[in-house]
Amino acid sequence: MGNVLEVRNLTVEFKKNKKPFYAVNDVSFDVKEGEILGLAGESGCGKSTLSRAILGIQKKGVTGSVKHYYKRPQMVFQDPAGSLNPAKTIEFILKEPITVRGNFSKEEKDRRVREMLKMVDLDEELLTRYPNELSGGQRQRICIAASLMQQPRFLIADEPVSALDVTVQSQILDLLRRLHKELNLSILFISHDLRVIFNLCDRVMVMKSGRIVEMGSKEDVYFNPQDEYTKTLMDAARTKYVSK
């Protein structure tokens, strides 16, 4: 099994009170073809900065290397409402990725939009609507659809269900599982919710203060953690879910 992504010694340095602050500190890992790799950690540990550096969105202060084996990697962001242009219709939003990059006829664009809507379980009647006319779950499905319009092989999902209620979270996670299988997608799935990561992912990385402190199969990380921080996270998660 080959890799879709190789990250080596990736560091993102900012200045904080004129002193260096490492949001990401010497991180190395691979994402294998067809796997879902989970990235867990508390808010502020550097997960989102890492994802932006991987996609080249974050350029300033970045050192190390990022190698993509397939073109057009894409990202699904945490807040679907903030990810969609409120002044554009859903049809425009879905067509834009292949309008900007690609030489497609109107008929081909229409066909691909219809196919993608069907793939994310949405009706064509939504095409004339605007993002504020959709539910949170519908908006996140549109974000996922837009990210897949260029047919990427690698997707970063940055806390894609944290802004949704529990029932809708489950539906979006089921959708990601299905798309992962049907499209042979490789996914870097970022979340602070350890239960979600365990249910969805194949391998898990745990991040603390910009560093990866533990990495392994989800069974090893969850049931036999080696790092003290990972043990603390697991204990907190068990307490949280048992108490509900």
Please give the pLDDT value at position 101. 78
Per-residue pLDDT tens over the stretch 136-180: 999 999 999 999 999 999 999 999 998 888 889 999 999 999 999
For 46-101, the DSSP string reads: SHHHHHHHHHTS--TTEEEEEEESSS--EEE-S-HHHHS-TTS-HHHHHHHHHHHS
Please give the pLDDT value at position 220. 93
Q: What is the dihedral of CA 223, 36, 215, 31, to 10 degrees?
A: 160
Question: Residue 95: phi, psi to the nearest 5?
Answer: -80, -25
Residue 149: its H or E element:
none
Q: Going from the N-terminus, what domains does the chain have, and what CATH number goes with each?
A: 1-73+159-244 (3.40.50.300), 83-151 (no CATH)
**What's the whole-number mean pLDDT along residues 218-242?**
83
What share of the chain has pLDDT > 90, as a percent?
79
Per-residue pLDDT tens over the stretch 99-108: 987 788 999 9
Contact 196, 169 (CB under 8 A): yes
CB within 8 A of 229, min separation 6: which ones? 206, 208, 213, 214
What mean pLDDT, rounded, does the chain reach? 92
Of residues 68 and 162, which shows the higher confidence score?
A: 68
Contact 212, 61 (CB under 8 A): no
Please give the pLDDT value at position 240. 57
CB within 8 A of 28, min separation 6: which ones? 7, 8, 9, 10, 64, 212
**What's the whole-number mean pLDDT along residues 115-129?**
96
